[in-house]
Amino acid sequence: MAWPPKHTLRPPLTQGPSILPRMDMTLPPAVPLPDPPKADRPAHYRLSTETWMLILKEYREGATAPYLASKWRVSVHAVRRRITMHGATKREWGDGQAIAMATAREAELEAARRNSPEAVAARLFQGLPMPSDEGEPDGGEDPAALARIAMLASGRAMRGRLWAEARALGALAETYQRLAAREGDGSGVGASGSGGGRGAALTPETAPLALIHAILTMGAEAKSERFRMDPDAGEAQPDYAIKRAYWRDWKEKGDWLRGVVFRRQALEARVEALEAALTEAGLPLPEEHSARRAARLAED
């Protein structure tokens, strides 16, 4: 049998009419691009080598070629040709930026380490006779010595304007001083003893000047909180006798101040009445120094 079979052969394709002549092959006209502003067009200046060095310096420091072409009114091609001619790259600028950022980061870390609480505490206690556990089987130390160290560190913090640290160290010193006073009272060493050994009670004569100054400049609210009495605890609360004596003295001082103010007001009223009577009678007032009169008539 011949191959392929006759019934599988397809009839030849006839050449039909082309559809291309019926299609409009014309393209729409191209939209012309707007010309750049006259100020942004390249001026084609003949720049000197020094000027090109300035342009290349800006390129090395991060500026782009289109920006430089617009700034200096030269073509982008001219800028890139000069970049290739002089081998100007941004590698040095990138290295400099990376080095500067690394240096700044290292400075920030150093400042953070220098201002950390551990570093600040180390500077405050630097050079002070720090206690050691040698010779102390239980690791205990003399509270008076610890109070002295804490007060010295608090003074350093105040000179450095570290108010929070100074306040905390002052409170710590006060705590150690109370412990020292209690040990002194318990051991019988105090007003009747020598006062020079371990556990000696702290007295106004032996107290550090920084502590005395801090007490004298303590605010009224801080004093009230320090000597606050618990009405529910009664005499069982700590330092009951001292707190009661403080409030008794405070009341006596308040009564005395109120008496002084009352007498002053009465005296001023009497003087004003006498001056009014003399003025009404046409008599001259007694001579009085202007500064003294201003101080007497000034508001409290």
Phi, psi of 20 (to 5 degrees): -60, -40
Put simply, whether the predicted model's pTM sits higher than 0.85 gets the answer no
- 135-184 residue pLDDT tens: 554 445 778 888 888 888 888 888 888 888 888 888 888 888 888 887 76
pLDDT on residue 219: 84
Contact 142, 180 (CB under 8 A): yes
- Those residues whose C-beta lies under 8 Å from the C-beta of residue 78, and which sit 6 or more positions away, are 42, 69
What's the Cα-to-Cα distance from 139 to each of 70, 132, 133, 148, rounded to whole Å? 77, 8, 5, 18
Q: Which tens digit of pLDDT belongs to each residue from 180-196?
A: 887 766 554 444 444 44
More confident residue, 178 or 131: 178
Highest mean pLDDT, choosing among 31-35, 38-42, 192-196, 204-208? 204-208
| Range with the poorest average pLDDT among 28-37, 77-86, 107-116 | 28-37
